[in-house]
Amino acid sequence: MRLRRLAASGVALAAWLAACRPVSAPTPQPTPTPSPTPELVRVEPPPLIDDVARESLVAAIDRDLEASDRIGTSDCPGPVVAQSLQSLRQAAARPQTDLAQYVATRFEFRRSTGREDGALFTGYYEPVLAARRRAEAGFVYPLYRRPRDLLEIRLGEFDPEWSDVTIWGRVVGGKLAPYYTRRQIDGEKALAGRGLELAWLDDPVARYFLQVQGSGILRWEDGSLAHVGFAGSNGKPYTSIGRMLADEGAFGTDRATSPAIQAYLRAHPERLDDVLFRNERYVFFAEAADGPVGRLGVKLTGERSIAVDPSFYPLGWLAYVETTAPVVDASGKMTASRPLRRLMLMQDTGAAITGPGRADIFFGTGEQSGLEAGSMSQRGEFYLLTPVECRH
């Protein structure tokens, strides 16, 4: 039935494509209203511990309130959510406030039961990479801007039954075709010579992981810095090369952490293309005035911002996390773990972050944040916090 309806929309789709003008970067979209689900169960508040400085919570809320027009749902309007967060901000700014008691009396806790063994928490960060504005010795790996022929099509604009589906492609011979894969872009140079090179990097592995992170900082030859952020993708699904390598036994009994994956790829350059091309998803970038900026459209806060699946969790809302974080050595190898319990703001999404039992914690900027984020793969508890004014 859905396919027949889509076919019936073909004329409208063709007209829309003809009029479409791709933009250089996507604008923040309203938060989709999460679907009701038994995988989020109301519970009594757990013993709440907030283990990092309150100043970071205040900063994260301030940034969240910049998007107050995008944080409401049909069950809980944006002004109500914003007022709830504003009141929490005021309480957090007062050192004498018992934050645990305050949150327990003003928010309802809904626990994720999406995974039997607890929610899975991973981490991401903002890398800092050496770059050049034009190709030169060593710097031969392009970082691409969003191509002008890349079309992003929200099918819900043609049929409400497809409101949760977005496709990407390009027009070939008057018809919509899938966009180029990673193999076609990096291996066959499908975008070369079109003036899309935003920068040139000296490490294909670092370039790949910049795409996985979605944002970063480029350090130019003169020492100046430039923020770059997500400007679109080719629409292909994300494939975990770490899981693929682990299934092959590439790491032995060690964990498939980001540092371990990078070390393997650098130690086996003959396998680089074969491995990277397995993940067809490709990310394009644009320079930004500041960053990193999440899907909500606001700057992320290290150790306070978290990426979730917006079909289950409303962006901009409050969450509480109970898990552990890795303690790593200089090589990125996990040597121990430490408790991680804190209030966080759901301000981002990720291609690999799907379902109510997944979340990705933003660790911050730079090498140390990268080592910690790259080793983060921990189980724990995840709670959605709903303002009591929206109790139902």
In this prediction, residue 20 carries a pLDDT of 43
Return the H-helix or E-strand segment holding 388.
none
- Give the sign of the dihedral formed by CA 45, CA 106, CA 357, CA 56: negative
The token duo for 238 is: 């994300």
- Proportion of the chain above pLDDT 90, given as a percent: 78
In this prediction, residue 4 carries a pLDDT of 38
Is 176 exposed, middle or buried (CB count within 10 Å of its CB: 0-12, 13-18, 19+)?
middle
In this prediction, residue 37 carries a pLDDT of 52
What φ, ψ does residue 108 adopt, rounded to 5°? Answer: -90, 140
pLDDT digits (tens, 9 = 90+) for 33-49: 454 455 789 999 999 99
**What is the rounded distance in angstroms from the CA atom of residue 236 to the CA atom of residue 183?**
12
Grade residue 28 by pLDDT with cuts at 50, 70 and 90.
Answer: very low
**pTM surpassing 0.85?**
no
pLDDT digits (tens, 9 = 90+) for 141-151: 999 999 999 99
Question: For the chain, which residues make up each domain, given as ranges?
Answer: 40-125+294-390, 130-288
Strand 215-219 with 334-348, pairing: unpaired
Grade residue 180 by pLDDT with cuts at 50, 70 and 90.
Answer: very high
- In terms of pLDDT, which residue wins out, 226 or 4? 226
Which of 338, 288, 340 lies closest to 52 in space, CA to CA? 340
**What is the rounded distance in angstroms from the CA atom of residue 204 to the CA atom of residue 268?**
13
Which CATH class for the 130-288 domain?
mainly beta
Buried b (16+ CB within 10 A) or exposed e, 342-381: bbbbbbbbbbebebbbbbbbbbbbeeebbbbbbbbbbebb
In this prediction, residue 392 carries a pLDDT of 56
Average pLDDT of span 168-182: 96
Return the H-helix or E-strand segment holding 102.
helix 99-106
Query: Cα(first)–Cα(last) distance of the chain, in Å?
Result: 34
- Proportion of the chain above pLDDT 70, given as a percent: 90
Cα 300 from chain centre: 11
CATH topology of domain 40-125+294-390: Barwin-like endoglucanases (2.40.40)
Question: If you write DSSP's letter for every residue of 43-56 in order, what string do you get?
Answer: EPPPPP---S-HHH
